[in-house]
Amino acid sequence: MTIAVEKVLYTARATANGGRDGKVATDDGKLDVLVVPPAEMGGSGNGTNPEQLFAAGYAACFHSALKVVARKARLDVDGSTVTAEVGIGPINGGAGYGLEVALVVSLPGLDRGAAEDLVAKAHQVCPYSNATRGNIEVDLKVA
């Protein structure tokens, strides 16, 4: 199922030069980083990589979705955190690469049942979750 945006509220624009071994920058200059393959994939590891950037974006976006859902449910999520773990590896017998994600959510002020319910609801609201649903495995974990 394709998700259609009803009205674009903001468009981010980034340009890569050199792929996994180059640089990426946004048009507004707020992000300008060297991109280098991690040592685990044969690179120097002396820079960031696309998986780290994806993990950072997903963690921030999911945490915002969690806070929205919590506010509507009148639940206190002060002190909560979201850690995104993005893995990359071969698929289709090595014909390409794919990603997998684990979202580790810490909600210290809630009991486990309420936390799991809130995380499941946030997963339905988060734009990254909506974009990846049905495409890659996303494992939701309550810490």
Tokens of 116: 């799991």
Tokens of 110: 């809630």
Instruction: Say if CB 107 and CB 99 are below 8 A apart.
Output: no
In tens, the pLDDT along 74-101 reads: 999 999 999 999 999 999 888 899 999 9
pLDDT of 1: 72
Q: How confident is the model at residue 13 (pLDDT cuts 50, 70, 90)?
A: very high
At which residue do the structure tokens 């939701």 appear?
140
In tens, the pLDDT along 102-134 reads: 999 999 999 999 999 999 999 999 999 999 999
In tens, the pLDDT along 33-66 reads: 999 999 999 999 999 999 999 999 999 999 999 9
Instruction: Say if CB 14 and CB 31 are below 8 A apart.
Output: yes
pLDDT of 11: 97
Domains annotated for the chain, with CATH where assigned, are 1-48 (2.20.25.10), 50-142 (3.30.300.20)
pLDDT of 2: 84
